[in-house]
């Protein structure tokens, strides 16, 4: 199968590229490399992946790449992902996440490609009393990032109604694992692992009791492939663990890997960040036969080990 991944040089995208190549797909990566890294694609290039340097905000670049490659399926991951940046510059966030998605949908419509859109769960639902949160809960984002991703989802649904485009959206929990950049793509696990590597204490914004649904990148890739394997998949699917963990829980789990003091430094809570987030993954389990397999402790061990092999204790 011919498959395109926008944002394929990023943390999640590059793992998806590897997974598709292992399945024997013909893969094209579309990325502007503003946050994605060429190093993430080393194994993919050896596996025969095609790489196109293009910006999803530029409609002609997207159309040319899609029409030239003619993918049967497009995984759309290219996005502005930083919550704080979205608060500081919501227009830039919207141009990337909304206009970029429209450009991709227009190109997909021209060739009849199926679209699997990658969205956010944590930033989508906002602070809700229904936790774990199913897809049926009305999204009430607390930051422009969540709002722009919600708009992108609605465009996927609109193109399905208006043009018959085959599309589905996955809403991800807080993804962590190897290749996540502590200085680029947002992610508390990656940031804390960066502190481990630099022998620095971590900073917690707020009380540290705020909770998230931390899901390992390997489980996310399995979820995306499960959507691919179900051509009838439509609407939105939560992909997470269904279990909430606090920021303090992450600190406690990573502390044994520290070479020195790893007690957190507390700072004022930041605007746009929610207190509780955990995804109800029942629909993905029922309709796609998918469930998360990686325990948080094992996933953190794997991630810390990737970050700094020489300072990680032997398991057991």
**Residues 297-308: tens digit of each pLDDT:** 999 999 999 987
Taking the C-alpha atoms of residue 248 and residue 253, their distance in angstroms, rounded to an integer, is 9
Q: Which residues of the chain have pLDDT under 50?
A: 310-316
Residue 6's φ and ψ, nearest 5 degrees, are -80, 140
pTM for this entry: 0.94
- Beta carbons of 65 and 28 less than 8 angstroms apart: yes
Domains, the chain, with CATH or none: 2-174+215-239 (3.40.50.720), 178-212+243-311 (3.90.25.10)
Alpha carbons 145 and 35: distance in angstroms, whole number? 16
Which residue in the list 125, 145, 155, 257 is annotated as catalytic? 145
279 pairs with which residues across the strands?
133
Q: What is the structure's pLDDT at 312?
A: 38
Q: Which two tokens stand for residue 221?
A: 């890739």
pLDDT recorded at residue 122: 85
Q: What is the pLDDT of residue 264?
A: 97
Q: Strand runs (DSSP E) across 217-285, as ranges?
A: 235-239, 245-246, 265-267
Phi and psi for 65 in degrees, rounded to 5?
-65, -45
Phi, psi of 299 (to 5 degrees): -65, -40
Collapsing DSSP to helix, strand or coil, 76 comes out as strand
Q: Is 145 a catalytic residue?
A: yes
């Amino acid at each position: 199968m011919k498959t395109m991944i926008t944002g394929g040089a990023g943390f999640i995208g590059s793992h998806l590229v590897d997974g598709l190549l292992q399945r024997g797909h013909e893969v094209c990566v579309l990325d502007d490399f503003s946050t994605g890294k060429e190093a993430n694609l080393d194994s993919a290039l050896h596996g025969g992946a095609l790489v196109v340097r293009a910006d999803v905000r530029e409609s002609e670049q997207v159309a040319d790449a899609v029409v030239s490659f003619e993918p049967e399926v497009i995984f759309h991951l290219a996005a502005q992902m930083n919550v704080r940046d979205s608060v500081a510059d919501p227009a830039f966030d919207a141009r990337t996440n909304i206009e970029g998605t429209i450009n991709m949908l227009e190109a997909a419509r021209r060739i009849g490609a199926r679209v699997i859109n990658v969205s956010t769960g944590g930033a989508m639902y906002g602070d809700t009393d229904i936790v774990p949160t199913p897809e049926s809960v009305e999204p009430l984002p607390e930051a422009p990032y969540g709002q722009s991703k919600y708009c992108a989802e609605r465009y996927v649904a609109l193109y399905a109604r208006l043009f018959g485009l085959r599309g589905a959206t996955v809403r991800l929990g807080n993804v962590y694992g190897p290749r996540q950049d502590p200085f680029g793509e947002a992610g508390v696990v990656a940031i804390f692992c960066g502190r481990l590597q630099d022998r620095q204490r971590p900073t917690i914004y707020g009380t540290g009791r705020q909770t998230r649904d931390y899901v390992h990148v390997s489980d996310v890739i399995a979820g995306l492939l499960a959507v691919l394997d179900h051509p009838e998949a439509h609407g939105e699917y939560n992909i997470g663990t269904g279990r909430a963990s606090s920021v303090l829980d992450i600190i406690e789990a990573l502390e044994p890997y520290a070479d020195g003091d790893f007690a957190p430094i507390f700072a004022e809570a930041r605007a746009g960040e929610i207190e509780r987030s955990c995804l109800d993954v029942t629909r993905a389990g029922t309709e796609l036969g998918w469930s998360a397999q990686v325990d948080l402790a094992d996933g953190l061990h794997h991630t810390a080990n990737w970050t700094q092999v020489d300072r990680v204790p032997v398991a057991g």
